[in-house]
């Protein structure tokens, strides 16, 4: 997948301005820094690399993308490729570098190292790597921000996230590094839009693809992680000692040493990105996507891939708890219990509402829903009510409807049982590994 290309004809011959190309034969063009701090292209054929301003391929001439000088001055690009040894060795070197420069513990350093490597293979990922770092006012974020700007692919520090941010950097597919003190709806929408390929935004009337890796420093956690497409959340503790910024010579040394290694890592491992070796089904869908984005870029080291798991599991647990508290999940629990616990093949909406309110009360939730609320949720689930005996509105619990309820409950993770009882009377539960017993809170209603 090309990063960006813009074509025009010069003397009837196409000229393509590009920030990177991947051709069908596996050869790659990469944007690099030239000897005079201008932009060049590096051509990789799978075994060796050559560098030039323009590259001719077939009937097209590829030249570096035109980048605004003010942006170009802030970008850190490799000027060549260099051997990195092995994935584990490169991971270890970057881990130690971040640890020494920031004095942060492994709770931050390990996942941030995963993030750095993922930025170099972002075009092979379905969901962009995204980290939300909660940093108290007493935490010194500058060393980590500076180091990420030196290590990540095409890192760019921005003052905020908005469509204009993506517009000004269109074509580069950068790694955005920013601080957000109060997430606005506009910022959250921009973060969510940049999570997936081809979710175009139109600042200034021009459609651009904002897909890119992001790392955000904020004083508080996201109140609704879904609003920003479920980032990996980390906490940066207060800094125990003063940490001076890296000197200019030291920063240049890091760029000179690590950017070439990371570029070769990208070139050698693009084709190796695939689902991680660990069981993805242990997670909810948002965490499955996050797990893929962080672990899949770790090439040829299944054990190292697994080191991201401790950072995903707590977030996955929170998602499950939050989802279980949603009215949709509670209603599905009530419907599932009714499928198992009655011979009456219709379920009046009024009784359904009372059961949902009983569950809410039993869980310490002060909300009280009304039948119309339940009706809207049923419609959203594709479960359609009708008039039943007595002229009431209700849901006919036909075998087809019960099967749909079971499937919806399984998809929502409602009352999932990883080790089901040896004997399950409900064949649908047995097939889906769902418990067939009713809700523990339902007894309170009787």
Model pLDDT, residue 418: 37
The residue with tokens 């419907």 is 335
Residue 432 has pLDDT above 80, yes or no: no
Model pLDDT, residue 325: 65
Buried b vs exposed e over 120-151: b needs ≥16 C-beta within 10 Å? bbbbbbebbbbbbbbbeeebbbebbbbbbbbb
The answer as to whether 167 is a domain residue is: yes
7-40: per-residue pLDDT in tens? 454 455 688 999 999 998 889 999 999 887 789 9
Same domain, 24 and 168: no
For the residues 325-337, what does the mean pLDDT come to? 85
Residue 131 has pLDDT above 90, yes or no: yes
Contact 93, 254 (CB under 8 A): no
Model pLDDT, residue 5: 53
Residue 185 has pLDDT above 80, yes or no: yes
Same domain, 49 and 105: no
How far, in Å, are 345, 372, 436 from residue 396 at the CA level? 6, 17, 19
237-276: per-residue pLDDT in tens? 888 788 888 999 999 999 999 999 999 999 999 999 999 9
Same domain, 214 and 170: yes
Model pLDDT, residue 2: 52
The answer as to whether 71 is a domain residue is: no
284-317: per-residue pLDDT in tens? 888 999 999 999 999 999 999 999 999 999 988 8
Q: Which of 3, 151, 1, 5 is nearest to 78 (CA)?
A: 151
H or E element, residue 91: helix 87-102
Q: Could you tell me the CATH number of the domain that includes residue 314?
A: 3.40.50.300
Same domain, 270 and 412: no
Tell me the backbone φ, ψ of residue 130, rounded to 5 degrees: -150, 125
**Token digits of residue 405:** 């309820």
Question: What percent of the chain has pLDDT above 70?
Answer: 89
Same domain, 275 and 369: no
Contact 209, 200 (CB under 8 A): yes
Same domain, 292 and 420: no
Model pLDDT, residue 37: 75
Q: Cα Rg for the chain, rounded, in angstroms?
A: 26
* Total number of domains in the chain: 3
The answer as to whether 72 is a domain residue is: no
Q: DSSP letters of 30-43?
A: EEEE-TTS-EEEEE
344-363: per-residue pLDDT in tens? 678 999 999 999 999 888 88
The answer as to whether 222 is a domain residue is: yes
Same domain, 141 and 200: yes
Residue 91 has pLDDT above 70, yes or no: yes
Same domain, 120 and 223: yes
Q: Of 283, 318, 353, which marks where a domain is finished? A: 318
Report the distance separating Cα 198 and Cα 201, nearest Å. Answer: 9
For the residues 186-196, what does the mean pLDDT come to? 90
Model pLDDT, residue 441: 38
Model pLDDT, residue 395: 93
Angle, nearest 10°, between helix axes 327-341 and 399-412?
Answer: 140
Q: Could you tell me the CATH number of the domain that includes residue 387?
A: 1.10.10
Neighbours of 205 (CB within 10 A): 5
Residue 377 has pLDDT above 80, yes or no: yes
Q: Which of 247-261, 267-281, 374-388, 406-420 has the lowest mean pLDDT?
A: 406-420
Same domain, 97 and 112: yes
Model pLDDT, residue 382: 93
Confidence of residue 425 (pLDDT cuts 50, 70, 90): confident
The answer as to whether 32 is a domain residue is: yes
Same domain, 92 and 239: yes
For the residues 174-203, what does the mean pLDDT come to? 87
40-55: per-residue pLDDT in tens? 999 999 899 999 888 8
The answer as to whether 81 is a domain residue is: no
The residue with tokens 């087809």 is 400
Confidence of residue 119 (pLDDT cuts 50, 70, 90): very high
Confidence of residue 324 (pLDDT cuts 50, 70, 90): low
Confidence of residue 204 (pLDDT cuts 50, 70, 90): low
Question: What percent of the chain has pLDDT above 90?
Answer: 51
Q: Are strands 386-387 and 49-52 parallel, antiparallel or unpaired?
A: unpaired
pTM of the model: 0.78
Residue 322 has pLDDT above 80, yes or no: no
Same domain, 245 and 220: yes
Question: What own/partner pairs with CB < 8 Å and gap ≥ 24 does 66-72 have?
Answer: 66/17, 67/39, 67/171, 67/172, 68/168, 71/156, 71/168, 71/169, 71/172, 72/37, 72/39
Q: Of 36, 66, 96, which marks where a domain is finished? A: 66
For the residues 330-339, what does the mean pLDDT come to? 88
Q: Of 33, 66, 99, which marks where a domain is finished? A: 66
Range of the domain at 368: 325-444
Confidence of residue 337 (pLDDT cuts 50, 70, 90): confident
Same domain, 113 and 251: yes
| Average pLDDT score over the chain | 86
Confidence of residue 442 (pLDDT cuts 50, 70, 90): very low
For residues 7 and 177, which has the higher predicted lDDT (pLDDT)?
177
The answer as to whether 80 is a domain residue is: no
The answer as to whether 77 is a domain residue is: no
Report the distance separating Cα 18 and Cα 24, nearest Å. Answer: 16
């Amino acid at each position: 997948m090309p990063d960006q290309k813009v074509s025009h004809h010069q003397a009837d011959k196409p000229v393509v301005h590009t920030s990177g190309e991947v051709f069908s034969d596996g050869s790659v063009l990469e944007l690099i820094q030239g000897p005079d701090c201008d932009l060049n292209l590096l051509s990789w054929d799978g075994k060796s690399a050559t560098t030039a301003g323009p590259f001719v391929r077939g009937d097209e001439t590829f030249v570096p993308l035109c980048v605004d000088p003010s942006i170009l001055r802030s970008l850190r690009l490799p000027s060549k490729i260099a051997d990195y040894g092995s994935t584990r060795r490169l991971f270890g070197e970057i881990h130690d570098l971040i640890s020494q420069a920031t004095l942060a513990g492994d709770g931050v350093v390990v996942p941030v190292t995963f993030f750095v490597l993922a930025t170099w293979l972002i075009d092979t990922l379905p969901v962009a790597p995204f980290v939300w770092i909660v940093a108290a006012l007493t935490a010194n974020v500058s060393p980590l921000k500076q180091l990420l700007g030196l290590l990540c692919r095409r890192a760019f520090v921005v003052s905020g996230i908005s469509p204009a941010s993506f517009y000004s950097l269109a074509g580069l597919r950068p790694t955005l590094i920013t601080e957000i003190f109060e997430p606005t709806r506009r910022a959250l929408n921009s973060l969510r839009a940049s999570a997936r390929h081809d979710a175009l935004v139109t600042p200034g009337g021009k459609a651009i693809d904002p897909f890119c890796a992001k790392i955000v420093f904020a004083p508080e956690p996201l109140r609704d992680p879904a609003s920003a497409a479920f980032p990996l959340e980390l906490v940066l503790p207060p800094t125990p000692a003063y940490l001076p910024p890296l000197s200019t010579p030291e920063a240049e040394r890091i760029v000179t040493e690590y950017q070439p290694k990371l570029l070769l890592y990208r070139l050698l491992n693009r084709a190796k990105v695939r689902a991680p070796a660990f069981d993805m089904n242990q997670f909810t869908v948002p965490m499955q996507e996050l797990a893929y984005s962080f672990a899949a870029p770790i090439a040829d080291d299944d054990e190292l891939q697994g080191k991201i798991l401790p950072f995903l599991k707590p977030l996955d647990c929170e998602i499950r708890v939050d989802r279980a508290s949603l009215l949709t999940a509670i209603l599905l629990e009530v419907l599932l219990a009714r499928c198992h616990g009655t011979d009456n093949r219709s379920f009046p909406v009024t009784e359904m509402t009372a059961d949902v309110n009983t569950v809410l009360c039993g869980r310490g939730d002060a909300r009280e829903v009304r039948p119309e609320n339940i009706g809207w949720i049923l419609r959203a689930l594709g479960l359609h009510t009708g008039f039943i005996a007595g002229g009431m509105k209700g849901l006919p619990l036909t075998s087809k409807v019960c099967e749909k309820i079971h499937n919806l409950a399984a998809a929502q993770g409602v009352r999932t049982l990883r080790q089901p009882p040896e004997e399950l009377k409900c064949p649908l539960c047995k097939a889906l590994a769902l418990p067939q017993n009713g809700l523990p809170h339902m007894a309170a209603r009787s």
